[in-house]
Amino acid sequence: MKYDVAIIGGGAIGSAAAYFLKLMAPASDVIVIERDPTYAIASTPRASGGVRRLFALSENIQLSNFSIPFFESFPKTMAIEGVDAEIGFKKNGYLFIVPLSATGMLRQNYDAQRDQGCNVVWLTPDGLKEKFPSMNVSDLGAGVHSPDDGWLDPHSVLMGFRKKSQSLGVKYLADDVVGMDRAAHAVTHARVASGAQIEADQFINCAGAWAKEICKQLGFDVPITPLRRFEHYFETQEPIEPLPYLKDPERLAFRPEGAGYSGGVPTLAEPRGYNFEVDYDYFESVVWPALAHRFPQFERTKCRSTLPGLYDQNDFDGNVIIGPGADGLGNFHMLAGFSGHGLMHAPGCGLAISELILKGRYETLDLTRFGWQRLIDDAPLPERGII
């Protein structure tokens, strides 16, 4: 059977794209090819679940301004037969903190966020100490708090998008894409391990950390590589006041979770590859010192579990690549390279790629600058400050 759109990868990104495509064009035939419907090593269920507006680039702020309210109404929007799709959204805020040397950049980003209507609050070290008495602010210059942001359960988001898409008529095929066929400037088929050939008018590469493997099957490279990261769950015996999701320039990022906390310190120096081994020394040698420096209560913390996962790291500039044009292919769309921001921007990017495919243009969110052309022009578009 020939489909209108074939989506490779059925995580949060692929399932969000499927949902919006079917919502906007109910008569369209959409198939999602996902090799593992259990999502055993998929990136989405291993994500931290943070959603925030604290970005520098206007596109990322717009994506958050669309996606976060979407998540707030997600249970009703994705409800099936009257059963809400709960995702555990907790609007407990986000906090970026920086040393004195980085306050200028933080202020620029803060101004950009305010210009786009974000509810953000500038905090001096005294203001930080007043709001969060347990925090060591001696080496800080300022912070920005976004009280309307927070976190949610990644697996529930994935299942909500997937089940709603299926209820609308999207087909999910449990199979592995092992080859892609092309003719001049168009992709014609995706070949799967079972021997079938999937023909479609449009293809979307939503394979995340595996996106580069799909591109290799078409004979070109993409600067997206798998970057291992750890999500640690840890507890402390010393009480701390309620905290938002906190991030600092040293890449320490954590949030409350149950009786403890969830987070870690991702590092861009990590060797690239499909590595799911757990480094049990990493928490003690890297994460714990950063935690204890910022909050003395973490001197007595214990790591209870460590979950490895993969970022689809865009080594070109750290932002998503969206739309057609890769290697001159007009019907092959990239939707990968989120570098850790995929889950929080899944609704916005799902809508954007659907508008681009169905209407030939962006209407709600203009993500033109995130297209393939910037790679051709060698014009990276990185975030400023904390990423």
Give the per-residue SS3 of the chain. CEEEEEEECCCHHHHHHHHHHHHHCCCCCEEEECCCCCCCCCCHHHCCCEECCCCCCHHHHHHHHHHHHHHHCHHHHCCECCECCCCCCECCCEEEEECHHHHHHHHHHHHHHHHCCCCCEEECHHHHHHHCCCCCCCCCCEEEEECCCEECCHHHHHHHHHHHHHHCCCEEECCCEEEEEEECCEEEEEEECCCCEEEEEEEEECCHHHHHHHHHHCCCCCCEEEEEEEEEEEEECCCCCCCCEEECCCCCEEEEECCEEEEECCCCCCCECCCCCCCCCHHHHHHHHHHHHHCHHHHHEEEEEEEEEEEEEECCCCCCEEECCHHHCCCEEEEECCCCCHHHHHHHHHHHHHHHHHHCCCCCCCCHHHCCHHHHCCCCCCCCCCC
Round to whole Å and give the CA distance between 55 and 320.
14
Q: What is the pLDDT of residue 387?
A: 82
Round to whole Å and give the CA distance between 373 and 364.
20
Is residue 131 domain-shared with residue 230, that is, in the same domain? yes
Contact 11, 172 (CB under 8 A): no
pLDDT in tens, 235-285: 999 999 999 999 997 789 999 999 999 999 988 788 999 999 999 899 999
Contact 59, 152 (CB under 8 A): no
The reply to whether 104 falls in a domain is yes
Contact 97, 105 (CB under 8 A): no
pLDDT in tens, 352-384: 999 999 999 999 999 999 999 999 999 999 999
Contact 138, 293 (CB under 8 A): no
Tell me which of 310, 343, 361 is where a domain ends. 310
Question: In angstroms, how far is the first alpha carbon of the chain from the final one?
Answer: 43
Is residue 187 domain-shared with residue 252, that is, in the same domain? no
Is residue 294 domain-shared with residue 164, that is, in the same domain? no
Q: What is the pLDDT of residue 275?
A: 95
**pTM (whole model) above 0.85:** yes
Contact 299, 235 (CB under 8 A): no
Tell me which of 310, 334, 365 is where a domain ends. 310
The reply to whether 383 falls in a domain is no
Length of the chain: 387
Domain span at residue 58? 2-83+153-223+316-376
Count of domains observed in the chain: 2
Tell me which of 310, 330, 350 is where a domain ends. 310
The reply to whether 387 falls in a domain is no
Closest CA to 234 of 215, 251, 258: 258
Is residue 24 domain-shared with residue 141, that is, in the same domain? no
Is residue 54 domain-shared with residue 99, that is, in the same domain? no
The reply to whether 78 falls in a domain is yes
Is residue 168 domain-shared with residue 78, that is, in the same domain? yes
Is residue 11 domain-shared with residue 135, that is, in the same domain? no
CATH number at residue 46: 3.50.50.60
Is residue 258 domain-shared with residue 133, that is, in the same domain? yes
Is residue 232 domain-shared with residue 306, that is, in the same domain? yes
Q: What is the pLDDT of residue 250?
A: 78
- Which band of pLDDT confidence, cut at 50, 70 and 90, is reported for residue 386? confident
Is residue 139 domain-shared with residue 260, that is, in the same domain? yes
Is residue 159 domain-shared with residue 210, that is, in the same domain? yes
Q: Round the average pLDDT of the chain to a whole number and report it.
A: 96
Q: What is the pLDDT of residue 270?
A: 87
Q: Which amino acid is at 157?
A: V
CATH number at residue 144: 3.30.9.10
Instruction: Kindly state the average pLDDT of the residues 137-143.
Output: 97
